[in-house]
Amino acid sequence: AEEVGGGDKEVVREYFTNDGFQRWKKIYGDTDDVNKVQLDIRIGHAKTVENVMQMLTDEGSLRGVTVCDAGCGTGLLSIPLAKEGAIVSASDISASMVSEAQTKAKEALQGKDDVQIPKFEVSDLESLNGKYDTVVCLDVLIHYPQIKADGMIAHLASLAENRLILSFAPKTFYYDLLKRIGELFPGPSKATRAYLHSEADIEQALRKVGWKIRKRGLTTTQFYFSRIVEAVRA
Ligand code: SAM
């Protein structure tokens, strides 16, 4: 049975503030102290960021475009967005992540012409408000069952004026992932589990709130699978 209430979210917040933060900071960093699986995930995730930047810039320059990076992690998307001239509002449920992202963004962006350092905030995406040209939410839905993902997608769509980009672990790779999941995510004693989503379910959640998928992308490496969808108003 799906969990009702704030259970998943509290577990996720705790995980990404403490143990999960330490683990993912390494994966999303550039130091050598990662194992083979972590390195594979680092490379896969970098490809996702690259795909998303390509999708966004294919539609025109990002200069002056407002972008909400919901669940920004260590800022790996926020930083290239800012480099392209976007006005970035980045947030994450984990204060540790936000503080790391802030440090990284300053290192990478301070003193650069025509670049605004992203505005960082500790917030779960469900509490975000305002309007942004573009809303992006990468590799966050994996922490939530579809029943919660529906509401998260509806909320993110309500913040977006033009486009919404989501990435998630697709159910198509269920068996592949099952075999590897022990490596990918900590066991129940340590915290979060991974939820896969079917593309049809994501598409339906978008359709329910009046959005349709315009572009699709897919990143796969040995241990990392991420479906990317770009949605616009139907
Ligand atoms: N989007 C980032 C990226 O692709 O580099 C980080 C991805 S990381 C796998 C998942 C992130 O989602 C974590 O930083 C976690 O704290 C954040 N997160 C999980 N649930 C969230 C929620 N309900 N609202 C906001 N952030 C959330």
Biggest CA pair distance of the chain: 52
Which atom of ligand 1 is nearest the CA belonging to 75? 5
CATH superfamily of 7-233: Vaccinia Virus protein VP39 (3.40.50.150)
Q: Is the CB of 120 under 6 A from ligand 1?
A: no
Distance 63 CA to ligand 1 centre (A): 25
Calpha distance 163→159 (Å, rounded)? 10
* C-alpha distance from residue 123 to each of 13, 23, 119, 199 (Å): 10, 21, 12, 27
> pLDDT, tens digit, for every residue of 178-198?
656 655 565 554 445 788 899
**Residues lower than pLDDT 70 in the chain:** 1-6, 173-192
Cα dihedral across residues 71, 40, 80, 163: positive or negative: negative
φ, ψ for residue 53, nearest 5 deg = -60, -40
How many A from CA of 137 to the centre of ligand 1? 8
CB of 170 shorter than 6 A to ligand 1: no
Q: Which residues of 103-116 are buried (b: 16+ CB within 10 A; e: fewer)?
A: ebbeebbeeeeebe
Atom of ligand 1 nearest to the CA of 71: 26
Atom of ligand 1 at shortest range from CA of 16:
16
Predicted local confidence at residue 87, as pLDDT: 98
Q: Which pLDDT does position 8 carry in this prediction?
A: 81
Q: How far is the CA of 91 from the centre of ligand 1 (A)?
A: 9
Beta-bridge partner residues of 170: 197
Average pLDDT, the chain: 91
